[in-house]
Amino acid sequence: MRLFKPSTQLADLPCIEIDLDAIRILPSASQFRTALLQQIANAKNRIYLCSLYLQHDEAGQEILDALYAAKRAKPALDIKIFVDWHRAQRGLIGEQKLVGKMAGNAAWYQTQSAQQDFVIPIYGVPIQTRELFGVLHLKGHVIDDTVIYSGASINNVYLHQLDKYRHDRYWFIQNVALANSMLNWMRQYFLGASAVCRLDLPEVPATKEILSDIRAFREQLKSAPYILGHTAAITQARSLSVTSLVGVGKDNVLNRTLCQLIAAAKKQITICTPYFNFPLAITREVNRALARGVKVTIIIGDKTANDFYIPPEQAFKAIGCLPYLYEMNLRRFAKTHQADIVSGTLEIHLWKEGDNTYHLKGLWVDDLYTLVTGNNLNPRAFRLDLENALLFTDPSGELLPQRRKELSGILQHTAVIKHYQELEKLHDYPPKVKQLLQRLSRVRLDRLAYRVL
């Protein structure tokens, strides 16, 4: 076994040694949906699902039906669902709240609950007093002793229920210590918080009634690490290990670790993000890595594969400008680093596969570190949302075959940018998009947009 020397900061992170056979990485959203349903059906003791949202559509109904079926078959099964408080109540973008009634998914939760003999609580978790300034972006379902980690929420496109899919990462890790750590964290900080309220019951408090509870809850989360039990530091691990990380707000442990991973790279870094809008700290570390000769590969969705993209022939909405903002960012970055692109030190891949969309996040650093996360590596993730990640440290290269297979599956639908001019500029955009972006730039609102979207 070869020895490795992690950076000083990374070396002190706690970890759990894990068997390679405990890790299964699936390649597609449809396989993920099938495996998730199988895990639910086979559950013996506990099912804790944590997602930005559980949508009122065919896929959401299928998952909720499966949960009720599992509860009916095993009444003692401990099932709980956590979703973002604000996202669950506002419905889809543009959907209006009905007078006297709750809109969105929460109304559906209540209707479904009223039709059942068994109770499955669905909790709304408010990370901030307004959705714009912070949401539940925590990932990781726990079913018995398996952690199911993906950036996917639960709806048709994330689970490829119909004709389109949103590509993500799909990791299944069977490890009792890791599962207990993540589940106990949800029990301690979510179930024990007055700000976290049931959405499946008819009497749901208004956000304004729990503002002080939400603020106190957010402050508590800022110092709420995962507890891994009997663990060693990464530098003491002799084989494949996993570290769970969680953070919210500026300068949290997850943000620091992301920067430290890039700083620790000696040969190669691969970065996946759906929204090219790096925080300044990440940009600095990527620039430093390129300067010291590290090969950097960035895999990002083509603007038409962005989940906010609206084709020009459809009705214009302001939110549809976001993919163009991200492309403008990418073009500026590529122009700055054109010499690195020419030398091969920097590779930029654009993902596009039909009308499907791209939602992958993560880091691969040398042959040593693999990070699976829901963190978009943008200012919003670094400052506003509750985020987490799983960091795999692999001193013996045990994970490399699965890691290469996952990356190969991602790259098969990408094209490499050879010159920054291959990316469109403001002049090329649809008239209404160009008009709005020009207006935002004149009043400097584009800077605010980069920080919160």
Tens digits of residue pLDDT in 330-386: 999 999 999 999 999 999 999 999 999 999 999 999 999 999 999 999 999 999 999
Q: Are residues 330 and 191 in the same domain?
A: no
**Residue of 168, 302, 347, 446 with catalytic role:** 168
Q: Does the annotation mark 446 as catalytic?
A: no
Element (H, E) at 446: helix 445-452
Q: Are residues 289 and 189 in the same domain?
A: no
Q: Is the sign of the CA dihedral 7, 11, 13, 17 positive or negative?
A: positive
Q: Which amino acid is at 437?
A: L
**Residue of 56, 86, 137, 167 with catalytic role:** 137
Cα–Cα distance, 276 to 401 (Å, whole number): 28
User: Do the domain assignments include residue 229?
Assistant: no
Number of separate domains in the chain: 2
Residue 2 pLDDT > 90, yes or no? no
**Residue of 86, 160, 349, 359 with catalytic role:** 359
Burial class (CB in 10 A: 0-12, 13-18, 19+), 118: middle
User: Do the domain assignments include residue 14?
Assistant: no
DSSP category for residue 206: -
Q: Does the annotation mark 137 as catalytic?
A: yes
Q: Which long-range contacts (CB under 8 A, 24 or more apart) does 250-255 make?
A: 250/382, 250/383, 252/222, 253/225, 254/373, 254/375, 254/387, 254/388, 254/389, 255/279, 255/281, 255/382
Q: Does the annotation mark 168 as catalytic?
A: yes
User: Do the domain assignments include residue 244?
Assistant: yes
Residue 442 pLDDT > 60, yes or no? yes
Q: Global pTM?
A: 0.94
pLDDT digits (tens, 9 = 90+) for 17-73: 999 999 999 999 999 999 999 999 999 999 999 999 999 999 999 999 999 999 999
Q: Are residues 312 and 415 in the same domain?
A: yes
User: Do the domain assignments include residue 267?
Assistant: yes
Strand 122-125 with 78-84, pairing: parallel
User: Do the domain assignments include residue 4?
Assistant: no
Element (H, E) at 124: strand 122-125
Q: Does the annotation mark 209 as catalytic?
A: no
**Residue of 347, 385, 387, 446 with catalytic role:** 387
Give the pLDDT score at 92: 57
Residue 126: domain span:
21-221
Residue for token pair 């590779």: 347
User: Do the domain assignments include residue 26?
Assistant: yes
Phi–psi pair at 389, nearest 5 degrees = -165, 160
- The helix/strand/coil state of 385 is coil
Give the pLDDT score at 89: 94
Give the pLDDT score at 7: 57
Q: Are residues 271 and 393 in the same domain?
A: yes
User: Do the domain assignments include residue 196?
Assistant: yes
Q: Are residues 80 and 207 in the same domain?
A: yes
The enclosing domain of 396 has a CATH number of 3.30.870.10
Q: Give the residue-averaged pLDDT of 100-116.
A: 85
Q: Are residues 71 and 202 in the same domain?
A: yes
Q: Are residues 172 and 304 in the same domain?
A: no
Cα–Cα distance, 283 to 280 (Å, whole number): 5
Q: Are residues 288 and 363 in the same domain?
A: yes
Residue 5 pLDDT > 80, yes or no? no
User: Do the domain assignments include residue 169?
Assistant: yes
pLDDT digits (tens, 9 = 90+) for 120-135: 999 999 999 999 999 9
Q: Give the residue-averaged pLDDT of 247-251.
A: 94
